[in-house]
Amino acid sequence: MTVQQPNSFRTGPDERGHFGIYGGRFVAETLMPNILQLEAAYTAAKADPGFQKEMDHHLTHFVGRPSPLYFAERLTTKLGGAKIYFKREDLNHTGAHKVNNVTGQIMLAMRMGKKRIIAETGAGMHGVATATLCAKFGLDCIVYMGAVDVERQQPNVLRMKMLGAEVRAVTSGSHTLKDAMNEALRDWVTNVSDTFYCIGTVAGPHPYPAMVRDFQCIIGKETREQMQAAEGRLPDSLVACIGGGSNAMGLFHPFLDDRSVEIYGVEAAGHGIPSGKHAASVAGGRPGVLHGNRTYLLMDADGQITEAHSISAGLDYPGIGPEHSWLNDMGRVKFLSATDDEAVAAFQLCSQLEGIIPALEPAHALARVFDLAPKLPKDHLMVVNMSGRGDKDLASVEAYLASKKK
């Protein structure tokens, strides 16, 4: 089947929040007025140069942007093909790309006069970023986190608590990220007048997917400039891991209309796609409606959402941002996947070759770089989004390797 491609991939969503058939506003009526209010506030903020100026100030002085575009020399030599650069989002304050989006949303919350912030988190990086900005600006912060994730991401739980946030362990459903999002939505329905829901990825009801994307696009914009400065041209390919897909969208979006740039999203294949125990919504799912949007989801034949499986808590979600679903169908982004085994191997190799301990999430992207790069010429410029650092994952990786030895 050939797909009719649009003139531009960067004009979505439409006024009702649709990217093709994806996106939308599938929420309870109680939330609709809030969502419309948020959309209006965001539209006004976007048009206000003062808002952007204030964002830029915090991104420079608090987050520490721009993040470097780093030439991974030993990895490049080892793989013997494409020249590999890392976009070092792991060097941001709080240790991941999540803070870019949170900075924007918290500033918006303050403009809207909302003093109580709620968030969902998987690996805890979004929770930590939200707790951090709430501490900085003196806002109440409640983070919903699946009980399973509270267990496997203890360092981030301790960080959030130290920052003054309340971490609520979620024991409904499968005790992971999707259930944390359900609980956050239930909180929002209950405390709708004073509460701002700070969603951590490019998913949820419109305007979240577009708004979070806009806040994350700083990643791709900087990458363009930095690659121009380093090599005098655009990169040839981009690779990023995808759970909900905010780090990937932030890197990809500014390049979507540069047709020469190949774009790869890497989903978590867990124990392997055929095993059914994975978190690859595009490879192993189909379009459905959950958490406010239509998108690729993992589900059974009856439309019941199935549990995602991944060693990476940040990718352990049975859906994906709606714009990614559309970019997949349009053929603009190629979706690949990497298993737990492959991600852990990449985690170790990157640590030992480059002196950079990656988070398990970008380790999935690295795993595919290992087979993409060697087949490419030496003048091929490849950018991998190093979306977060791996300190939080050391215990998980240690336990995983110990279990493999048995």
Residues labelled catalytic: 98, 120, 387
- Candidates 9, 22, 25, 124: give the one binding other proteins (CB under 8 A): 25
Q: Which two tokens stand for residue 16?
A: 């009702």
Q: Binding residue for other proteins (CB under 8 A) from 135, 192, 273, 330?
A: 192
CA-CA distance, 155 to 362, in Å (whole number)? 19
The minimum distance between CB 180 and other proteins, in angstroms, equals: 12
Stretch that binds other proteins, among 21-29, 75-83, 160-168, 259-267 (CB under 8 A): 21-29
Restricted to residues 247-306, the positions that interact with other proteins (CB under 8 A) are 288-292, 297, 299, 301-305
Measured from the CB atom, the residue of 211 and 336 that comes closer to other proteins is 211
Smallest separation, CB 13 to other proteins (Å): 13
Distance between CA atoms of 384 and 20, rounded to whole angstroms? 27
Question: Which of 5, 11, 30, 260 is close enough to bind other proteins by CB under 8 A?
Answer: 30
Figure out which of the listed residues 106, 185, 327, 384 binds other proteins, where binding follows CB under 8 A: 185
DSSP letters, 284-346, are: H-EEEEETEEEEEE-B-TTSPBPPP--S-GGG--SB--HHHHHHHHHTSSEEEEEEHHHHHHH
Looking at beta carbons only, is 187 or 262 nearer to other proteins? 187
Q: Which two tokens stand for residue 393?
A: 């994952």
Which residue bears the tokens 């048009």? 47
The answer to whether 390 contacts other proteins (rule: CB under 8 A) is no
77-109 CB burial, b ≥16 within 10 A, e <16 = eebebbbbbbbbbbbbbbbbbbbbbbbbbbbbb
Backbone angles phi, psi at 344, to 5 degrees: -70, -40
For other proteins, the binding residue among 2, 4, 190, 403 (CB under 8 A) is 190
Size of the site for other proteins (CB under 8 A): 36
Nearest distance from C-beta of residue 287 to other proteins, angstroms: 8
Told to check if 376 binds other proteins by CB under 8 A, we report: no
- Do the beta carbons of residue 109 and residue 227 sit within 8 Å? no
Tell me, rounded to whole angstroms, the distance of Cα 162 from its chain centroid.
24
Single out the residue of 9, 12, 27, 156 in contact with other proteins (rule: CB under 8 A).
27
CB of 173 to other proteins, least distance (A): 7
Q: Which of 116, 173, 283, 341 binds other proteins (CB under 8 A)?
A: 173
Alpha-carbon dihedral 393, 399, 402, 406, rounded to 10 degrees: -140
Residue by residue, DSSP assigns 362-406 as HHHHHHHHHHHGGGS-TT-EEEEEE-BBSGGGHHHHHHHHHHHH-
How far is the C-alpha of 216 from the C-alpha of 202, rounded, in Å?
Answer: 9
Selected binder of other proteins within 11, 60, 191, 275 (CB under 8 A)? 191
For residue 11, how many other CB atoms are within 10 A of its CB?
Answer: 11
Least Å distance, CB 355 to other proteins, is 42
Q: Does 116 bind other proteins (CB under 8 A)?
A: no
Nearest-angstrom CA–CA distance, 109 and 21: 29
Of 178, 181, 74, 68, give the one whose Cα is nearest residue 118: 181
Residue 308 binds other proteins, judged by CB under 8 A:
no
Name the minimum Å distance from CB 317 to other proteins.
12
C-beta of 27 vs 198, nearer to other proteins: 27
Q: Is 237 in the site for other proteins (CB under 8 A)?
A: no
CB of 128 to other proteins, least distance (A): 24
Q: Give the footprint of other proteins on this chain (CB under 8 A).
A: 16, 24-34, 172-173, 178-179, 182, 185-186, 189-193, 288-292, 297, 299, 301-305
